[in-house]
Structure 1
Amino acid sequence: MIDVATEFGVPSMVLLTYSAAFLGFKLHTHTLQEQENVDTTAFDSEGLHTEFAIPSFENPVPVSAFPGLSMEKQWTYFFLNQTSRMKKANAIIVNTFEELEPYAVRSFSKSDIAVYPVGPILSVGENKTDPLGSEVMKWLDDQPDSSVLFLCFGSKAYFEDEKQVREIALALEASGVHFVWSLRKPAPKGLMNSPSDYSDLRQVLPEGFLERTCEMGRVIGWAPQAEILAHKAVGGFVSHCGWNSILESIYNGVPIATWPLIAEQHLNAFMLVREFKLGVEISLDYGREVGRLVSAERIEKGIREVMEKESEVRKKVKYTSQLSRRALMEGGSSYSHLGRLFRDLLNLE
């Protein structure tokens, strides 16, 4: 569509639902491949812990954080073509805010690509939930402030190995932390379907788990994530680190325990823990080694860290939450960048 807009002299804009840093990653790898003839698909052959400097990141990034598909040759043409077209746009609008990603945003000032961080773009109004969601919200109403851990891995990701589900259950029970756990059933092998809800959670949970934890938690299927994260009882979030989930959590002042699964989530987790200092690590490289499980002990450690009341991470998340809200107000950074976008579009010949 950008090519069509260019042909007819119509300004084109691209709206990105991922981070400014990941945009920088894509642009940098595109430059390496197109201008310097570097085979970026061979990076993983140098070892998962090998690090590379990327202009939109303050710290060197390990190969283990790279999106897996970016190192698969059959996807190289797709990514190159997508990035080439994106570069032709008059504006690239990113769902982020300058205070969250100052280093990444500044990195684009040296390029001829017009980037506008106008986020966080979120749905923060009241939503009507289904009866199960309403029951969970009522249960949260009875919990102390910042006492509940929320576990949710997005609408697409799931754990294929039931052993991993049991390790999570063991960690939750051992931690003693109150929780809401959105547990989804994997799609049938070979299908690209989204996960679904279990008809009987006892199929995958340790025997007696639901009975032993009935006072301290709720295990559900689909979850009204935005509403749960906005609830005052929620004090921590175990997340797959999808970018929208990160923005929702930061906006609501909830620290994240990282557990990336697919796509650019490993890169997001790296940013949260190493760059932003807004999260704690359960795993940064889950799925990179076939058959590897994250142990209950490691999960419990991450749970205790993310729920720590006076941690520096929690304090920084609360502060960044305030910054995210100010960014959208008149005079805020995102408000100003949106105004700049309108002015620049009006001035296009």
Structure 2
Amino acid sequence: MKFGKLLAGAVLALGVGGAAFADGHEKTKVGFVYVGPVGDGGWTYEHDQGRLAVEAEFGDKVETVYVENVAEGPDSERVMTQMALDGADLIFTTSFGYMDPTNNVAAKFPDVKFEHATGYKRLHPNVSTYSARFYEGRAVQGHIAGNMTKSNIIGYIGSFPIPEVIRGINSAYIHAKKVNPDVEMKIVWVYTWFDPAKEADAAKVLIEQGADVVLQHTDSTAPQAAAQEAGNVVTFGQASDMGQYAPFPRVSSIIDDWAPYYIARTRAVMEGTWEQMDTWDGIGPGMVKIGEISDAVPAEVKAEAIALRDALADGSYHAFTGPLNKQDGTAWLADGETADDGTLAGMNFYVEGIEGEIPQ
């Protein structure tokens, strides 16, 4: 995830104090670079929960540092460079737009391990990539949304038109359409990951266009608040539970659980077993979780959503299963055929039935 913009006041925060044990053994220093504030209630909040889990797991054997509100681009490269110069052994860069800066800095610090979230470039042996199959959670949300809409209009707040977000839009639409053939999806692009004002405005625009269900691929709780104010508009938590808006308008959520991965990769550095890898996990391994489905959802729909979640988790169902066509009507997946990871990773098209063009 993440292209983003600079939010004022990047803050460097230190975790466990001190640099070494009494016997002279150095602590493992782990850095985190965040695109938003740790209090965003969404994406960055969950990454920081992962950082805190590392501290809880390893205690005084680790020191963690983080910088929040880091713009993607040259600013992030400077932050990563400073972390490396300050002795970080492992640096997690948690936004899509940090991809090139991560690889640029890794080239200069071959002894530092870098982990880039949601990217695909591993240009140096000290760079790994990791992401989650958020689109599996979107399938569950789409199923609920298609059942709950009364206007047959579902709104979607898109951050940036990158494959991750396009996958989510397609997955939500496919599963809403399965249960409600009359459903339409309206999309508003905000070109930011975290901007509460823009996110709230986007939600209001979608509601004015008739949407009574709003999904988001942005990081703040502002769309939840806008829906609550409008009344009778269903929402879903994004990246974090956003449970303060349950049981309504937030009826469920996608929760990103980074803690097990962060703990495992920190342990690998500590034990000298770290190797370059690419990780893309979903509901099954627990990197994606479905937040509690509230009683605002009819019992039958709730049961179906849980069954869908479980089928995605055990692999008996794939979120992109044919027959499916692309937006222009050309065949994509035959009946029973499932999408390959390469196509999903580079997805740059809408499926048939979604109106409008993907911005360039």
- In the superposition, the TM-score normalised over structure 1's length comes to 0.27
- TM-score, normalized by length of structure 2? 0.27
Specify which structure has the bigger relative contact order, considering alpha-carbon pairs within 8 angstroms and separated by 6 or more residues.
1
The structure whose residues are more often strand, as a share, is 2
